[in-house]
Amino acid sequence: MLSTLTHFHGAIGWKRRLLVLLAVVMAASSPLQADPAGNQAMAIQSGLDGEAARTAIAFQQALRDGNAETARRLLADDVYIYEGKGVERSADEYAHHHMPGDMAFLKSLSFTPLEHRVREAGDMAYSVAKTRLQGQYKGKDIDLISVETLVLARTGNGWKIVHIHWSHG
């Protein structure tokens, strides 16, 4: 059976298309803008009204709510998930390894959205989000900026997440 990525990209290899899409993501990203009255950052949002955006937002919310069933359903079976130095190469691998820990971590924190952009291009889409996470987890104070890139593919069952990259600092 063809993977989700290969199925949607025809003759052009999925890796090449993914690299092009990620290059577009980087080019389209812009820094936060200061508000006119001072130095506070304003949230930057665009493209959040489409189906791909609804999938990305539902996935983020499912992780925060601890809803493993919904989070898993929104992932393509052959999703690649990169975080730090690690990679998980399937939705099942993520669901059985890091998803429970990610959910516990996220449930304990508050979120301040800084940026979220989603772009659809045919049967592919990307979502880039930047969020400030604050709170306590396992007795430690947490205050960090999280950056998330999702690549989505349109399937017969709606949009599925085929690639995730998370980083924070």
Residue-wise pLDDT for 103-117, tens only, equals 999 999 999 999 999
Provide the mean pLDDT of the chain. 84
Q: What is the DSSP string of 88-113?
A: E-SHHHHHHTTHHHHHHHHHTEEEEE
What's the confidence (pLDDT) of residue 41?
56
What's the confidence (pLDDT) of residue 58?
98
What's the confidence (pLDDT) of residue 10?
44
**149 against 29, higher pLDDT:** 149
Q: Which letter does DSSP use for residue 98 in this model?
A: T
Q: Which amino acid is at 7?
A: H
pLDDT band at 29 (very low <50, low <70, confident <90, very high): very low
What's the confidence (pLDDT) of residue 42?
55
**40 against 12, higher pLDDT:** 40
Its pTM surpasses 0.85:
no
Could you tell me if residue 149 is left (phi over 0), alpha (psi between -120 and 50 degrees) or otherwise beta? Answer: beta
Mean pLDDT value of segment 45-62: 97
What's the confidence (pLDDT) of residue 43?
84
pLDDT greater than 80 at residue 25: no
pLDDT digits (tens, 9 = 90+) for 71-101: 999 999 999 999 989 999 999 999 999 999 9
Q: How many CA atoms lie within 13 A of 159 on its CB side?
A: 25
CATH of domain 4-30+43-168: 3.10.450.50
pLDDT greater than 90 at residue 5: no
